[in-house]
Structure 1
């Protein structure tokens, strides 16, 4: 007997799509608690069960996280990002190792494929990032540092690499926040000036050294596992 989509299931899918759009657009940012169930029921004009099914589906996909007693929070902006967060968890070493793999290749390709317009945007983002650091705006600095790494990978003009990295962005932002917070307490920070220079000079080997260098240093300074992960 063939399966048929019921009217109720169609309603659930509509609610899922509306809620997913609010997450992916940033209207509901990562880390923010979404409106409580009664508000969603009223705003969407549907029953509680429909809202609950939609929330359950988005939580299963990794976009939302239901915290008993606290509410439901945005966990990731896409299913891929949610999967990455589940795989990496809170293990900073795992995140930094994946960043190294993606960012080093992104820097290598960006150095030879970037356009003049790409370079100007990289310069703008890095200048804004350094200005935020100088001003002591921690949250803005973390966001701009994350934006710099993402755009650098986009400058590779490799769509697959870019989509993989974009799905990893929330984990990158979290790792940046952790490492930047530590470096600020030590009155030191990572400068990406030399990395930008390598891309400007279209020096792929230098770009690889610079992209891997600061990540290798972060990994080497992590407590716990040794370099072989034991």
Structure 2
């Protein structure tokens, strides 16, 4: 991370922008602890007070969570994602899953009609990573890779509004999925998504829609993962 002396943007805003870019780029994933204040000040070549103000601004916007005695952690990937997380706090998981099912069914249908070869390659890669995380028994990695797979499905819809909305809901959806694994990764039955990828690959809109919703409890009657 470096700041450009040639820029006319106020220093504080430059620091906010640099820290935000670390988050949105994924270099600081959600849940990770960011470097401590002196380290950030040294990396950016600015005073600790400027860093402190920038961190507080991002915490106010919902991207960071300052925990006294522990450190500062990434809590969302964008300001709107943070707002969404707070807005949906306290809403029942059944309602969240119905929302997710509605969005993903629509996205899967559009993906089957619009997917490109590049989309299919990304879907297969995301699916493989998801399956590896499950096989290794890594709960948090599975949550992240499962979310990445579903986001790839939505992105393959080539609907910018739907993709943007789904991304902003990402932390809400990941929180809901984590709650399925409070007793460990294997406390819920794994659902394979090979059929969903194949339906999208085949351009079968009806099959893609069915595959996108069959694993939800409302339609299958069981407790399963995403």
> What interval of TM-score do these two structures reach, taking the shorter chain for normalisation?
0.7 to 0.9
Give the CA deviation at 1:218. 8.4
2:183 counterpart of 1:200: no
What's 1:127 paired with?
A: 128
> Which deviations, in whole Å up to 9, do the C-alpha atoms of 1:63-116 show, x marking residues without a partner?
111223322211111112111211123653443233222211111101111123
What's 1:225 paired with?
A: none
Query: C-alpha separation between the residues in 1 aligned to 2:101 and 2:194?
Result: 18
Task: Compute the TM-score of the two structures, normalised by the length of structure 2.
Answer: 0.80
- Higher mean Cα deviation, 65-74 or 106-115? 65-74
Cα contact 2:85–2:172 (8 A) shared by 1: yes
Give the CA deviation at 1:128. 3.5
* Ranges in structure 2 where 5+ consecutive residues have no aligned partner: 1-8
Q: Against the structure 1 CA distance between its residues 187 and 40, is the aligned structure 2 distance closer, same or farther, given a 3 Å change threshold?
A: closer
Cα contact 2:181–2:188 (8 A) shared by 1: no
Map residues 85-124 of structure 1 onto 2, 5 A cutoff: 85-89=85-89, 91=91, 92-124=93-125
Give the CA deviation at 1:180. 5.2
RMSD over aligned CA atoms reads 2.7
What's 2:159 paired with?
A: 158
> Which deviations, in whole Å up to 9, do the C-alpha atoms of 1:25-76 show, x marking residues without a partner?
2222211122222333333333343223211211121111122332221111
Who wins on radius of gyration, i.e. which is larger?
A: 1
Q: Against the structure 1 CA distance between its residues 153 and 88, is the aligned structure 2 distance closer, same or farther, given a 3 Å change threshold?
A: same
